Chain A
């Protein structure tokens, strides 16, 4: 079995056993990237020398006995909206094309303390705005299962890298589904934690009240291990929560006996691909066979999630992205006359069309005379949706549904129709609005062989319940989730 096919935990075990050197692991991963990147384009920045140096340093610490954790020496890919000191961090935007942070995001620091080797930064929708990774200024990432299709987004680079075995695991961020939806499209496992679980310090904000960093991996165990590593209470993030229950790996038990699972009827009405519906309901059946109690229920307000989300996220984004002005860092226009022209030209030239669309939408809903009608109303909707979930979680341990209404669309077909792209977020968005944890686990493929994701949603701080359900489902072996599980290479099989 090739080293690239190992999960993070498997590779970490071999490193601890001195079967694999950290430098060797890094080298194998870099070689895999070199081979597959021309077809996938999951990465935007890789500094090989830096990787090698870091690998040697980690190996030394392992040899000294100061690094013994499961992720020590294991390479990781990082979404390019997470600040890495001394390493380009662009958000896949021209406006940050040359931005090198002076500090490292807290979640990455946690990983580094555990001995992670950052392999590179991954492609994404510009400022995480998009569902296909096509809004990136570097061009799209391709879906490793079929390079004619998108990987989803906005963490499409991270998910594609993991699916293509360019890296055992990655970090992504999720504001409205940006971890779970591309995980579903790429057939990997992606988890969005409860809001406040992972520090946002160093995550370049899109929608601050919704953003969360989370793991993307090839199995549930890796997800739990990574989450356990990156989650921490951080005084630098005022929205960070002090939790005592960060031992997520303790939830990895093949036991769903008596677990109450609710399926919202509203998730299975119009707009859902029949193949997705079938695979998700089949997964529910499997969990039921394992002893879970599965029933349907009505979750209210589902139809309001998308408008509420786009009002809130865009409002916050319009303010969060104001700092990119050509003055302090990043892109500055070549020719300008005076301050106003500097701002206007730098931002007009630096931001792509989807980002501009959301900044304009956000500025509009916050402007005088519209604030009450749009922004405040959206906040009220958000609060009401949380109440709907509260009611549901009074009855159920876990809510089960699809991660996305379809499988990965063909490259290029989403950009012309932003409304359609927005509607694709229907199943993931309400989870962010309510601050809940959600995980996407592969549960099948459609008629074209593209993966389908099962989404399990938990109450706030109930990551362990969704991890347990996801783990139990995964262990039934009902579905093999890597396109490369048989050892074939993407370049041979997927490129047309």
Chain B
């Protein structure tokens, strides 16, 4: 299962390291990373695959949310299918 992790907040040292460590510890593979500064906010987008993770989606989301709160950034994880649906005319299958 593929998902998009987005990290939005004030830029700070080590945030990429912290998020990628957390993902590694949950056995989630990062397939792509991009980052930009948008309207003074640091924005990191990661495409991840959580098929190998033992945790359920809700648990992963909870852990990331906690990590975000501890570091004063917003971290969301959403299934890739929502972005496929909204931004591509041709989608493979509208399925989560």
Partners in one complex: no
